Amino acid sequence: MIEYLLILALLLPLICSPLPYLLGGKKGGLLSFLILLISTLSIGYLLIQYYLNPNREPFIVWYNWAPDLGLTFGLNGDGLGLFMSFTIAILALALSLYSIEYMEHEEDVGSYFTLYLLYSSGMIGCVLASDLIEFYLFFELMLIPSWALINQWGTGLREKVAFKYFIYTHVGALSLLIGILATGMLYGTFDLFRIQILLSKQFKPDIIISQIAAILMLIGLMVKLAIFPFHTWLPDAHAEAPTPISALLSPAMIGIGGYGILRFVYGSYPHIITNFSSILIFQSLFTMIYGGLMALKQNDLKRLLAYSSISQMGYILFGIAANSPLAIVGSMLHYFSHATCKAMLFMVSGIFMHQINVRDIDKLGSLASKMPYTAIAMIIGFLGIAGTPPFNGFQSEWMIFSGALIYGSLDKQSIIVGLALLSTALTASYGLWTVKRVLFGSKYLNLDIKEADMLMIAPLILLILLTTVIGIYPQPLITPINSIIS
Amino acid sequence: MILEYSPWLCWIIPYIGAILSLLFNKIHHKLRDCCALTSSFLSAIFSTLIIFAYPNVLKGEAYHSIPTLSIKWIDAPNVTLKAGLLIDPLSVFMANVVAWISFLIMLYSIGYMEGDKGIVRYWFFMNLFIGNMLLLVLSDNFIQMMFGWEGVGLCSYALIGYWYEDDEKEKHIKWVGEGLEEYAPSHCGMKAFITTRIGDIGLLLAIFIIFSQSGTFNIIELGKDLNWASKLSNMGLLLPTALLFLLGPIGKSAQFPLMEWLPDAMAGPASVSALIHAATMVKAGVYLIARVFPIFYILMHSGFIELKIFFMSIALIGAITAFISATQASVSNEIKKVWAYSTVSQIGYMMLSLGIAGYLIGDAMIAAYVAALFHLLSHALFKANLFLTSGSVIHSCESRFMRDMGGLLKLMPITSISMLIGVLALLGIPPLLGFWSKEGILKAIEYGIYEYSELSLIFIIAAITAIITVFYSLRAYILTFIKEKSGRVKELEHHIHEVKPVMWIPYIILALAIIALGFSVPFGLEHKLHHTFGDMLNHYLMKVSEHKEVVTTQSYLPILASILAISIGSIISYTIYLKKGNNLFESLKNKRTILIIQKFFSNRWYINRFWYAITNKLLVLSKLIHDKFELPIVDGFNYYLANFVTFISNRVRGIHTGVLSDYMIGATLGMVALIIFLIILLGG
């Protein structure tokens, strides 16, 4: 029974995806919510099982897919895979509820939810994949529906932005594909488990080709992760996508780049990747500060959040590149922290767009008393990504930064970590400054503005609870993440 | 049984109270207020019960990592963290000061905040504030302490910016500052959070560096096994780490140069100011230094001489801050701001004393250490009193400016007497508590001079600051209560009356405590503190010489300095503000040098402007990079590439003429070229 839960969680949204199109409208939305609820619950159940079972046995499902080509279809439900897919599933769940209300007045909502389900299962598949080709397929599966979603229901110059997004990330994906193919040639298999067995048998692939393959895969994933200078697709896409999709793009999807680097690039080339770690650290540090500085200047709330995401992705890469177990755990936990907080923030900006039809910061103001729940969510969201306890951002950030100091020469590392910490102050600055401009003051106190519908507030409350509970007691997530360390 | 858990209950109850008061609000507003107050009261009770549960605390013993006090928390690679509490004289002392004074402030709030529309939020954050501060002082490891540390920052953000609507019509009550430095509450909350956060960068970095060498965040373990320090010292990082560590307390306790947030924190309600200044938040920095003092002290005295600079920095920063803020207080026009500058200045004294303690040995060290904590206690009492009384005055006059006050002595007798006691304690009139604690600090500096004569400079600064302290506190009192009534007071005269008992009872209790404790000093209060803390320090310091009797041989220099300061200060403020037909004042008032100095002081030594200039530069830089680099170059590259491809395709498109003969010519030419190529290839 248990072994089917994982495949159920992945395939149910995929198989059922045409249904919302057929049902259309609100019903389709509710159905997608139910489907995602089943997915979330089954992954959540496995996660709890994993956490409670002292043996920490991974749930791995494995099928022969195309044996002649050496392809397998596996679902890697070890702790990390479960953790990642749980994060994605719960975000997708919360946002599907939110979408029902948010997309109410849009056309063709049925197809929206069809694409939404495809997109969600693409992301879940990505983090569960155990085979490089399988990973690539799911990687593209999340790209195409998201492109269609931006193209169809976006705002502003949506077609142009969607095109830019597609081309940019697709070129990245191609780079990843070449890297993956080269890896397959080197090891004679695309299966990560087999690669690891080979590696443990002191198998030494050709150094030069390995390096090229690793670099190509890294570049492909860094495009997705939006690390400087590959980030330019992100501000446009995040700003113009329909808000629930921004809230999935930013926290859930781009972070998969970091997961991919950890799982597949580090997994295939553990001996080579360390050569690049100083470059990666420098790049991620630069991205952190650069993203923060750019966010400071933005007037469009969603664009600000987009740059903030770029900055936060810097933390994730930083943790991975720091190459110490504690930092890696922190960095994966940061995926979760950023996911909850940034999703919250995008939802808040969506509520502003939905209720007032404005997202320019200078046209907003004094909303705290009009929209108390939204205001609380916004403040918690920003404090969370700035790493303020008791929200989960603090837990992940202290792990990343103290982990980064454990190995390597301390004086150099401490300067780097000092700069990285400076960027948390930068985060707090743009966050609280935005909060002040949007929520406080008495500029628009007389306007008649109402708090959003309960359907939009409920997901926010769910995320606030998650943020706080994990912020205080992160162990249920740390234990699963630990599985990657061995 | 339950007693053993009193340290946990002490800090958890305010959290529960905070959440319950949100829920009870739905039922009845009285129930909500009651819940908020009760939880604060219970927490105070439990803070005292700790002493009964762990009686050896009074003998200077420390309880830690015993089963009742620690639980498993985080188990990650490279680190296993236990959530634990540390019960020793320092933490119990702090917990009691925090919890009891907070309770009095909460009681006052019942009257002061009555009818405010954000009251639910107020109770929630006040209780959270208390809980966080108690967590901070009771934690036995840095990560858990950070929950409290950042938590008080978060609560101060919420409470300083409590009147977040920034109502322009109520500027004279709810804003802070004048002219260029006039700020709205929401701005001040943000400023407080970000400024302290900048200090925290240093603190966190230092904690992480220490962790990377020691593998632990636990404070007791850090003090026991000092290997980490020698590793750091070999890399030349021990002193930088110590100085980075210092940044946290500098930010939190508003010391130079990160002190600018505190005066502006006055935008919050007076009760919040009292809480921030007397019991929570700014005392956290002093506490943290006192907490790690034994660790750095052992290190310095076991051969890591470079840490002398660490202690010297604490002392110097304290002295500089004390002086700068005292001068600012002497020209401030707002009553709460006078007390705010005064807090910064008094905390400077505490830092100074702790810094000097690092230089001393044996009993003198203990005396200096205790002086800082003793001053913390007395400052907590009189500053809470001063803020609460000022709150009542502002409440009645509906203005935060002292120029709108005056002549309130008869209108508000209880408040005026109560504030008088606070003021007298602040300026150190014997036998009030403030006298003893300030004398203790001066004595500590004097001990320091015996060791290092360079410290006499610091003694002079401290003495001058004492004079200025006397001047500004009397000035504030005179302008508020004694001087002739201002226009506003005359206008409102019939509405101004003594405040409700629920408001004056708390500050009367505080005033009585100042007097009572002051009288008990000669009967052994300070002696008792000295013993307890002395035992604690000896316990932590292990090697350092065991406890000796309190030094009784002392010169009369500190007392002389105190008394001189009081007389000079009061003469100056008397001649300027009270003496009738005062030609001296009139002639001085228009002197250019005086005006320039006054302007310099009231512009806050331009430190505030300096920080704002830097912030603005950062914004300009951000805009510059965005407009000149991000958009045209980084993002522009995509479009250049796209345009380039379009350009090429346009050029190539020209040969697609659609005429068959053109294509035939092309095909033939291509064929010929191919043949030639093959011939060359094969022939070669």
Which residues partner with B87 through β-bridges? B63
User: What is the tens place of the pLDDT at every residue in A135-149?
Assistant: 999 999 888 999 999
What was the pLDDT predicted at A130? 87
User: What is the tens place of the pLDDT at every residue in A243-260?
Assistant: 889 988 888 889 999 999
Interface probe for A, chosen from B205, B241, B629, B646 (most Cβ of A below 10 Å), is: B205
Chain A residues with CB under 8 Å of B625 CB are 290, 293-294
3-class SS of residue B179: helix
Yes or no, beta carbons of A440 and B161 under 8 Å apart: yes
Please give the backbone phi and psi of residue A66, each rounded to the nearest 5 degrees, phi first.
-135, 80
Chain B residues with CB under 8 Å of A475 CB are 73-75
Residues in chain B: 684
Yes or no, beta carbons of A424 and B201 under 8 Å apart: yes
Q: Which of A168, A293, A325 sits opposite B622 (nearest CB)?
A: A293
What was the pLDDT predicted at A343? 92
Torsion over CA of A319, A324, A325 and A330, rounded to 10 degrees? Answer: -20
Yes or no, beta carbons of A326 and B211 under 8 Å apart: no
C-alpha closest to that of B451 among B318, B357, B543:
B357
- Residue B2: in which H helix or E strand, if any? none
Yes or no, beta carbons of B208 and A329 under 8 Å apart: no
Chain A residues with CB under 8 Å of B622 CB are 293-294, 296-297
What was the pLDDT predicted at B550? 46
User: What is the tens place of the pLDDT at every residue in A57-114?
Assistant: 778 888 877 777 778 888 888 888 889 999 999 999 999 998 888 888 888 888 889 9
Yes or no, beta carbons of B193 and A324 under 8 Å apart: no
Q: Are A481 and A329 in contact (CB under 8 A)?
A: yes
User: What is the tens place of the pLDDT at every residue in A43-61?
Assistant: 999 888 888 888 777 788 8
Interface contacts A/B by beta carbons within 8 Å? 147
C-alpha span between A21 and A29 (Å, rounded): 10
Interface probe for B, chosen from A297, A332, A447, A485 (most Cβ of B below 10 Å), is: A297
Q: Which of B164, B208, B244 sits opposite A402 (nearest CB)?
A: B208
Yes or no, beta carbons of B78 and A325 under 8 Å apart: yes
Helices (H) and strands (E) in chain A, counts: 22, 2
> Closest Cα of chain B to A224: distance in Å?
16
Q: Are A388 and A394 in contact (CB under 8 A)?
A: yes
Q: Which of A232, A474, A485 sits opposite B635 (nearest CB)?
A: A232
> Closest Cα of chain B to A12: distance in Å?
34
What stretches of A298-391 show up as alpha helix (H) in DSSP?
A: 301-322, 325-355, 372-385
Chain B residues with CB under 8 Å of A433 CB are 190
Interface probe for A, chosen from B81, B174, B194 (most Cβ of A below 10 Å), is: B194
What was the pLDDT predicted at B564? 85
C-alpha span between B150 and B155 (Å, rounded): 9
Mean pLDDT for the stretch of residues A206-227? 89
Chain B residues with CB under 8 Å of A303 CB are none
Structure tokens, A335: 């995926």
Residues 6+ apart with CB under 8 A from B236: A411
What was the pLDDT predicted at A1? 66
What was the pLDDT predicted at A447? 77
How far does chain B reach from its first CA to its final CA, in angstroms? 101
User: What is the tens place of the pLDDT at every residue in A286-334?
Assistant: 999 999 999 988 889 999 999 999 999 999 999 998 888 899 999 999 9
Chain A residues with CB under 8 Å of B197 CB are 386, 424-425, 428
Q: Which of B73, B168, B619 sits opposite A296 (nearest CB)?
A: B619
Side chain identity, residue B12: I
Q: Of all residues in chain A, what percent carry a pLDDT higher than 90?
A: 37
Q: Which of B73, B198, B623 sits opposite A297 (nearest CB)?
A: B623
Find where tokens 């709460």 sit: B336
Yes or no, beta carbons of B204 and A482 under 8 Å apart: no
How far does chain A reach from its first CA to its final CA, in angstroms? 27
C-alpha span between B321 and B468 (Å, rounded): 13
C-alpha span between A58 and A480 (Å, rounded): 9
pLDDT-based confidence at residue A337 (cuts at 50, 70, 90): very high
Mean pLDDT of all residues in chain A? 88
CA angle A86, A387, B205 (to 5 degrees): 125
Using the CB atoms, write b or e for A269-305: b if 16+ within 10 Å. beebbeebeeebbebbbebbbbbbbbbbbbebbbbbb
pTM: 0.92
Structure tokens, A4: 């089917």
Please give the backbone phi and psi of residue A366, each rounded to the nearest 5 degrees, phi first.
50, 45
C-alpha span between A273 and B59 (Å, rounded): 57
DSSP B510-552: HHHHHHHHHHHTTTTHHHHHHHHHHHHHHHHHTTS----PPP-
Chain B residues with CB under 8 Å of A399 CB are 76
What was the pLDDT predicted at A93? 92
- For chain B, what are the domain ranges? 1-160, 161-602, 654-684
Yes or no, beta carbons of A401 and B638 under 8 Å apart: no
User: What is the tens place of the pLDDT at every residue in B207-226?
Assistant: 999 998 888 898 888 888 88
Question: Helices B119-138 and B29-53: crossing angle, nearest 10°?
Answer: 10
Chain A residues with CB under 8 Å of B151 CB are 389-390
Chain A residues with CB under 8 Å of B74 CB are 395, 474-475, 478
Q: Which of A73-77, A261-265, A441-445 has the least mean pLDDT? A: A441-445
Q: Are A289 and A269 in contact (CB under 8 A)?
A: no
Q: Are B183 and A426 in contact (CB under 8 A)?
A: no
C-alpha closest to that of A190 among A64, A366, A10:
A64
Which is higher by pLDDT, A166 or A251?
A: A166
3-class SS of residue B583: helix
Yes or no, beta carbons of A478 and B198 under 8 Å apart: no
C-alpha span between B58 and A444 (Å, rounded): 57
Low-confidence residues of chain B: pLDDT under 70: 543-554, 580-589, 684
Q: Give a three-class secondary structure readout of B46-99.
A: HHHHHHHHCHHHHHCCCECCCHHHEEEEEEECCEEEEEEECECHHHHHHHHHHH
DSSP B255-283: -TTS-THHHHGGGS-HHHHHIIIIISTHH
Q: Which of A386, A410, A479 sits opposite B235 (nearest CB)?
A: A410
Chain A residues with CB under 8 Å of B73 CB are 473, 475
C-alpha dihedral sign at B128, B131, B134, B135: negative
C-alpha span between A441 and B164 (Å, rounded): 6
What was the pLDDT predicted at B580? 67
Chain A residues with CB under 8 Å of B211 CB are 402, 405
Yes or no, beta carbons of B77 and A326 under 8 Å apart: yes
> What count of Cα atoms within 13 Å lies in the side-chain half-sphere of residue B228?
26
C-alpha span between A367 and A347 (Å, rounded): 15
Yes or no, beta carbons of A389 and B150 under 8 Å apart: yes
Find where tokens 């119990």 sit: B92
Question: Helices B282-301 and B142-160: crossing angle, nearest 10°?
Answer: 150
Q: Is the pLDDT of residue A408 over 60?
A: yes
